[in-house]
Amino acid sequence: MRIERIDNPPTDEDFAEHQRTFAFFVRLVSIAVLHVLACLVAVAIGGIFGYWRLAFTIGIIATIAAAMGASNGRLGWRPGAAVLALSLVTLAAAS
């Protein structure tokens, strides 16, 4: 059995689609990382200081911010970064 190799170089259209898909992937990963970090800080607030209602509220706000960033291409990671900053300030203020 012989395997024939067909050289089929990618076209410009394929490369443009690849770049668009990669940019979308990077945007979603950055949103997810910020969401996870904000939720971890919220769990730290609840676990260390016992403010579980505040931690739950931060988790809900982080989820809404992640959904906003994922649904709107112009916002991207910015709502998640704002919630992470807010949760870190809250952690500092609680200590």
pLDDT digits (tens, 9 = 90+) for 27-76: 999 999 999 999 999 999 999 999 999 999 999 999 999 999 999 989 99
**Residue 10 placed within a domain:** no
Q: Is the pTM of this model over 0.75?
A: yes
Q: Is the alpha carbon torsion for 67, 82, 85, 30 positive or negative?
A: positive
pLDDT band at 24 (very low <50, low <70, confident <90, very high): very high
Number of domains observed in the structure of the chain? 1
Residue 76 near residue 30, CB atoms below 8 Å: yes
**Residue 50 placed within a domain:** yes
Distance between CA atoms of residues 20 and 9, nearest Å? 19
**Residue 22 placed within a domain:** no
**Residue 15 placed within a domain:** no
Distance between CA atoms of residues 23 and 72, nearest Å? 14
